[in-house]
Structure 1
């Protein structure tokens, strides 16, 4: 299952001001325990970590938290990623948006069966729809948005996100089906839900969720991207740490109660996690975890239910095993991590505490300690380095909009300057250890510069490989540069992408020295 609609990222909300207050929030972290005390075999947990980490480079586990009986029994990350560092959640954001809807309904801001055109009259179309289409739109409810049964025949997100007014654009697209009858995965519907909550509450989605949910759970920093109108994007754009996502999953598992305090309306979780869209409606064979039914912005799974996001961002809630799993990843096949959890973790959960297993816990610790980011191996310099040093490479016109670039050679690191669509980008790249730096936001208005780790070595006399890792998101960009005389070819690739991962090779020539 792909979530191509997650690619519709636009403006961003910097929720850091709110998020950084969370360290002092009431609630705090989940208690910790040995796996054996909670009836979990630590050797099976070690096998799970090894399986999640042992695939090809495009199947990369970033961080993992496993909770049993309300206690963290396994937690770790692939440095420099960590469970307490924000990571882009992609469509897992939807489950948080749906939770905000539940809180808004409980507070009387609107109802599940309220009509969308009544809640957003300023966005209702005045022309362009037939009488039948207008009548269908007039029957569209909040509940229909939550279950992605808006009545659109195909996902309208690609038509909505380029617009400036997302809600208005969504409502002017014809509905081919009666609302509530036809499921189609629809990130734009979630964006409308976010806007409805914000308009009714008079505050942004993060600001709304902070005192009601995030602070009581002890959430750390969190950000949420914004639509061009200034609303949280809703269906994507939330970034948070997996430790916090695990706390959220534990709240869902306990029907919205945290340490004796009810944070969510009674019965909301049971309602939201039902298969309102029946199994088999979404594509996939019967063993696919995308064919088990859909609730309120949550998928039913072969075991329990879940919020999930592109490239393997997961919050798995498994009531039959009293387990929560939170995971950040950079994977192409989203079924692979789920299969690993079903295979290794579930059979390892017993009904009673197990005898202490020091060797098993040591194996688990070793599995987490073995999670390391690897960088291309090579030499810090080459005879051709002096030829490149400080000279501009003038590139032919290309789809990436790169006009020219240069490398300033150093002993421990190089400096790379790129002119990209008239915007200069500069980055230091380490030869041994990567250099941590920042890049401009990839999307207009994202919350501040993007932290990255960058590395470069000569893997052959004529081949220079640059690797740039986003530290709070999935992308890893690798650029292989080959130098032949004055001709330079640069081939960029991505680990994961909504589009192609093999990008067009840039061709250029070295300019004469000034």
Structure 2
């Protein structure tokens, strides 16, 4: 199904005011990639900043958690588990610690859903150091009584996925496919899985902006879709309500309470959100949903733009008209064409960027070789960068067909070759400045956003 389209005016909104909202997003200093606004079940605003596309999958990061919550709600409705079931009851002796503490023994499915497991910090970093993530989680110290302290915890969501898989014999993504993704028309859904073969739950889901908008409309319709109750209305009511306080969070829109893997927000809103500015923001009072994909460290800034420039539109207030840009696009960096290289291939040892080799040719093009999805020595792919407009190509680095869509461009900065690479199914952009000295090459890498360092240097072997 494709959501119907409508003019803003037909749904009680000002088109000129929405143009001003788009202009505000474009000039906000936060890189916006796609936006879609729903009102009364119709799309009244849909924008993509070239080269991004509304219809292509995009990594949603922690928006994934809200889908994991939905799967748990479906499993509870099917009688497979209950909110107050103990976490340890789902796992065998080979995964449980020899001594089960009182706090671990008291931890329930509800505590996983509300991020009140009793851990002092997010467990995800400890989990991802080892392929036995379930065993690691169960072996961690639970310093607080479950239910007493809110600590955002992606590892807790991973455990929800693990529990679902134990109960159903299906990975989370496969469980949701016939029950949610296919009815919503989200056949493109993919979900990263761990080394132990479990959908990661708290992160790793990729959907198009359009499909995420379908989920937003499903929330507005209390689980009803084309006359069929896909998700119990009672589950969405509970999941999107304030289940626990989270006043210890620093930003105003992250301290309004937490539900079952949904955030409560200001102005009567709730949302699923993900790192670097991925949002499924629901306005129940105005029968509206806003979907945003972006690349920013300052997610609060995007919400502040929404409150300042979109909320008044929904409220029917007078908004000062502001002309929107005639074209929404993220341009390649400008600069002189690179000078020709020596045509040699410079190789690099194992590194977090996965860059294995660089060759700068006399014609001014650069070829960057990356390790493939499995990061094996014989599994590589080349990305070519040259001066001018974005050059589009595909990379198999995410292990799917036809692979990731990437655009590249390059320019010269003195004796340096400066390449920009955009992985369009993610928020990530890398700038690689390559310089050769004698028999070696140095590559200075800068990332627009990252969970780790945003700048580092690679030296050829």
TM-score, with normalisation over the residues of structure 2? Answer: 0.91
Measured after TM superposition, the shift of residue 329 of structure 1 is: 0.5
Structure 1 residue runs without a partner (length 5+): 1-27, 355-359, 510-514
Q: Which deviations, in whole Å up to 9, do the C-alpha atoms of 1:243-265 show, x marking residues without a partner?
A: 11111011111211123321111
Once residues 450 and 401 of structure 1 are traced to their aligned partners in structure 2, the CA distance between those partners, rounded to angstroms, is 15
Name the structure 2 match of 1:284. Answer: 250
Once residues 397 and 213 of structure 1 are traced to their aligned partners in structure 2, the CA distance between those partners, rounded to angstroms, is 40
Alignment CA distance shift 1:142-1:472 (3 Å):
same
TM alignment of 1:395-474, pairs within 5 A: 405-410=358-363, 413-417=365-369, 422=377, 424-439=380-395, 441=397, 449-458=403-412, 460-474=413-427
Q: 1:61 aligns with which of 32, 43, 56?
A: 32
- Aligned to 1:121, the other structure's residue is in SS state coil
Q: Is residue 49–residue 328 contact of structure 2 (8 Å, CA) maintained in 1? A: yes
Q: 2:280 aligns with which of 315, 325, 329?
A: 315
- Aligned to 1:270, the other structure's residue is in SS state helix
Residue 88 of structure 2 is aligned to residue 88 of structure 1: no
Q: 1:302 aligns with which of 236, 243, 266?
A: 266
TM alignment of 1:473-512, pairs within 5 A: 473-482=426-435, 488-504=441-457, 506-507=458-459
Alignment CA distance shift 1:493-1:375 (3 Å):
same
Alignment CA distance shift 1:477-1:39 (3 Å):
same
Q: Is residue 87–residue 473 contact of structure 1 (8 Å, CA) maintained in 2? A: yes
Q: Which deviates more from structure 2 when the two are superposed, residues 198-207 or residues 93-102?
A: 198-207
Measured after TM superposition, the shift of residue 467 of structure 1 is: 0.7
TM alignment of 1:112-261, pairs within 5 A: 112-122=83-93, 124-127=95-98, 129=99, 134-261=101-228
Alignment CA distance shift 1:434-1:112 (3 Å):
same
Alignment CA distance shift 1:111-1:448 (3 Å):
farther
Once residues 343 and 48 of structure 2 are traced to their aligned partners in structure 1, the CA distance between those partners, rounded to angstroms, is 38
Q: Which deviations, in whole Å up to 9, do the C-alpha atoms of 1:127-180 show, x marking residues without a partner?
A: 1x4xxx522222211111000111112222111122222112111112111111
Measured after TM superposition, the shift of residue 488 of structure 1 is: 4.5
Once residues 480 and 321 of structure 1 are traced to their aligned partners in structure 2, the CA distance between those partners, rounded to angstroms, is 48
Residue 3 of structure 2 is aligned to residue 71 of structure 1: no
Alignment CA distance shift 1:340-1:401 (3 Å):
closer
Residue 371 of structure 2 is aligned to residue 371 of structure 1: no
Once residues 354 and 40 of structure 2 are traced to their aligned partners in structure 1, the CA distance between those partners, rounded to angstroms, is 52
Q: 2:11 aligns with which of 31, 35, 38?
A: 38
Q: Is residue 194–residue 234 contact of structure 1 (8 Å, CA) maintained in 2? A: yes
Alignment CA distance shift 1:397-1:197 (3 Å):
closer
Alignment CA distance shift 1:398-1:86 (3 Å):
closer
TM-score, with normalisation over the residues of structure 1? Answer: 0.82
Aligned length: 456
- Aligned to 2:244, the other structure's residue is in SS state coil
Measured after TM superposition, the shift of residue 407 of structure 1 is: 1.7
Q: Is residue 354–residue 370 contact of structure 2 (8 Å, CA) maintained in 1? A: no
Once residues 105 and 502 of structure 1 are traced to their aligned partners in structure 2, the CA distance between those partners, rounded to angstroms, is 45
Q: Is residue 408–residue 416 contact of structure 1 (8 Å, CA) maintained in 2? A: no
Query: Over aligned residue pairs, what C-alpha RMSD do you find?
Result: 2.8
Residue 238 of structure 2 is aligned to residue 271 of structure 1: yes
Q: Which structure ranks higher in relative contact order (CA pairs < 8 Å, sequence separation ≥ 6)?
A: 1
Name the structure 2 match of 1:3. Answer: none
Q: Is residue 441–residue 447 contact of structure 1 (8 Å, CA) maintained in 2? A: no
Once residues 379 and 112 of structure 1 are traced to their aligned partners in structure 2, the CA distance between those partners, rounded to angstroms, is 61
Q: Which deviations, in whole Å up to 9, do the C-alpha atoms of 1:403-449 show, x marking residues without a partner?
A: 753223447x543446899565522123223322234537xx67874
Residue 300 of structure 2 is aligned to residue 335 of structure 1: yes
- Aligned to 2:62, the other structure's residue is in SS state helix
Once residues 236 and 140 of structure 1 are traced to their aligned partners in structure 2, the CA distance between those partners, rounded to angstroms, is 22
Q: Is residue 435–residue 453 contact of structure 1 (8 Å, CA) maintained in 2? A: yes
